[in-house]
Amino acid sequence: MAFLFFPSKGIFLSSFLLCFAILSLGAEARRSPSPISSLISKELFDSIFIHKDNNACPARNFYTYDSFINASKRFPRFGTTGSPATRKREIAAFLAQISHETTGGWATAPDGPYAWGLCFKEEISPQSNYCDSTNTQWPCYPGQSYKGRGPIQLSWNYNYGPAGKALGFDGLRNPDVVSNNSLIAFQTGLWFWMTEQKPKPSCHNVMVGKYVPTQADIAANRTKGYGLVTNIINGGLECGIPDDSRVNDRIEYFKRYATLFKVDTGPNLDCAYQKSFQTVA
């Protein structure tokens, strides 16, 4: 940080004290508790993700409670909107979705398949580099892959570009930061959750009851509830398919976490009869 020197010592001193105060406030903000820490303690977080640091998990020791809590400070409306039950339900829904995206469990896994999550931090054996070359607003950088990374498994250049711009990193030139920095990883997940990308509403607005369906949504049977969140995240591949195993997996995670948070799940858990928004996370 550069300081300007003025003839008056008093003016310089005042400027110095002002800068010192700003730095002190920034440090205090980093130390201050997150609004959601009263709803999800480290003990609850650890009981949700019993096996995230298992030796078999490639993301072992990557997804920490502190990183999640600190990332949430960047999005102060997350888990703070509505009644206590609504707030808890939103956090449970977010954690359930990222658990499916980063799972690690299997049918006979210890403690059951839904006691596993946050096991992977990047997509294994991606089928492409996830570059949409038709998107000129967020052009792909040569040699980079926009495969799934982080808790929401952020994919495609049209997500990495705006996420990086919003969070302060170069998502197009350096997408690997999402799988190398735990704080940024959680921030990208929360960025996707909180950000409306028309015609999609934000997952946040859906879970806190602020979603207002358009005529197109009504025609597509996109009803409010957890199923619509799945549609926002990966509807192009999973929705409109009755009894889809991937959708069921997301639902079962949510049921377990809602129980741990001592809230109900709300209605419309699946998207079996919804038309998708096409594009995915």
Q: Could you list the active site residues? A: 101
How far apart are the C-alpha atoms of 254 and 105, rounded to whole Å? 15
Closest CA to 251 of 233, 225, 226, 223: 226
Check if the beta carbon of residue 97 is closer than 8 Å to that of residue 230. yes
**3-class state of residue 122 by DSSP:** strand
How far apart are the C-alpha atoms of 270 and 216, rounded to whole Å? 19
Which residues face 149 on adjacent strands? Answer: 122, 154
**3-class state of residue 160 by DSSP:** helix
CA atoms within 13 A of residue 280's CA, in its CB half-sphere: 17
